[in-house]
Structure 1
Amino acid sequence: MHNEHSHPLLQQTPLSVNPFIDLPRPPPLPPTYTTLPSTLPPSTTHAPPTSTHPDLPAYVTASSGFAAHPSTITAQNRALLTQLESAGKQAEQQVREWEEGIKERELAEKRRKAPGWLDSEMHLLQPAKNGESGERAGEGERSLIDEPESELRGSGGAEMQGRDAEVEDLGRAMDRAFG
């Protein structure tokens, strides 16, 4: 075996097989391997235009039949993005209005239960004093509870009998009220 292209010095060296060296092997191919075609398909940049944009070639195609130019797809995506942003803002506004309505209804319910309490800054409720209302009404309408006991006993004659009758009437009224 004499090769014309090999160097004469290499032809004189003996070859030995080394069991520790593995020579490279071609990789195994998957069963789905197909060879590349020998000719390339025509360029898609020269595709026919679509009816929506006759000035732009529709070289982005899908298996469903959709075809468009990349700038058309970008414009559609931007329009969709602005629509989604405006819908999000409207939804946030509706949620805010809904929460405000809930707060207003709760406040109206609280005002219905305690009128005047939430409308002013003064939150300390104080009852009207009895002495003030008695003085305004006049001295003739004083209650037996307000008078000292010594006045009730120390009074004489007809005034005492009138007061005793009033006390008995008050006692009967309390008996009727509390059984």
Structure 2
Amino acid sequence: MHDERSHPLLQQTPLSVNPFIDLPKPPTLPHNYASLPSTLPPSSLSAPPAPSNPELPAYVTSSSGFAAHPATIIAQNKALLKQLTKQRTEAEKKVKAWEQSIADRELADKRLRAPGWLDSEQHLLQPNKQSEKDREQVSLMDEPAPAMIEESDKRERTAEDMGAAMDRAFGRSEMG
């Protein structure tokens, strides 16, 4: 006698219960459960036409009374996005023009203070070369140098001599 339902090898395998598998249970219904009505409401595709676009049905409705077709809402959103993008680019242009006017005013102010400075490529200040007359004149910072100064004279120089050299260079200043 051969059983057609299961394989003979499977008949020898013992069954075990897996504790991790939960078999489905019927759901518990809430006390205010109501079954579906036997008749469905009319289709939203056969809704009355929207006031904003009479060719399309107004099946998107709100509690405030607004009704429109999704294509109309999408078109309004695209128009709003286009308007916002246009306003943003105009605002950016105005900001750039305002910043440029500030930079122009600052440049004009700099040109008033130092005419020609910004127009030349040379921005490194260099002293004028001395002529032979200027070389013969002694600098105010240099002390008159006698031909022979002994070492002992150098050591004897005092703070008064340095103060006198500073007075010659920068003019006399009185403390007090």
Shorter-chain TM-score range: 0.5 to 0.7
- Tell me which residue corresponds to 1:58: 58
| Structure 2 counterpart of 1:115 | 115
Q: 1:24 to 1:81 in 2, by over 3 A?
A: closer
Superposition deviation, residue 101 in structure 1: 1.8
Change (3 A) 1:113 1:78: same
For this pair of structures, how many residues does the alignment match?
A: 121
What is the distance in 2 between the residues matched to 1:124 and 1:83? 51
Alpha carbons of 1:22 and 1:53: their partners in 2 closer, same or farther (altered >3 Å)?
closer
Percent same amino acid at aligned positions?
Answer: 60
Q: Which residue of 2 aligns with 1:154?
A: none
Q: Deviation per CA, 1:72-98: give whole Å up to 9, x if none.
A: 112111111111111111121112112
Root mean square deviation, CA, Å: 3.5
d(CA) in 2 for partners of 1:123, 1:51: 71
Aligned partner letter, 1:46: S
Structure 1 counterpart of 2:98, one-letter code: W
Distance 1:58 1:90 in 2: 36
Stretch moving more, 122-131 or 100-109: 122-131
One-letter amino acid of the counterpart of residue 59, structure 2: Y
Which deviates more, 31-40 or 53-62?
Answer: 31-40
Which aligned pairs between 1:57-136 and structure 2 lie closer than 5 A?
A: 57-125=57-125
Give distance in 2, aligned partners of 1:178 and 1:24: 107
Q: Structure 2 unaligned segments of length 5 or more: list them.
A: 1-16, 139-170
The one-letter code matched in structure 2 to 1:99 is: E
Whole-angstrom CA distance in 1 between matches of 2:22 and 2:126: 103
More helix by share: 1
Q: Secondary structure at the match of 1:111?
A: helix
Q: Quote the Cα distance in structure 2 between the aligned partners of 1:79 and 1:99.
A: 30
Partner Cα separation in structure 1 for residue 115 and residue 30 of structure 2: 84
**What displacement does 1:24 show?**
4.8
CA distance in 2, matches of 1:111, 1:32: 85
In 1: Cα distance, 2:26 partner to 2:51 partner: 51
Give TM-score, length-normalised by structure 1: 0.52
Amino acid across the alignment from 2:91: A
* Pairwise CA distance, 1:49: 1.2
Structure-2 change in CA distance of 1:82 and 1:23 (3 Å): closer
Higher radius of gyration, 1 or 2: 1
Q: Structure 1's 52 and 104: CA in aligned 2 closer, same or farther, altered over 3 A?
A: same
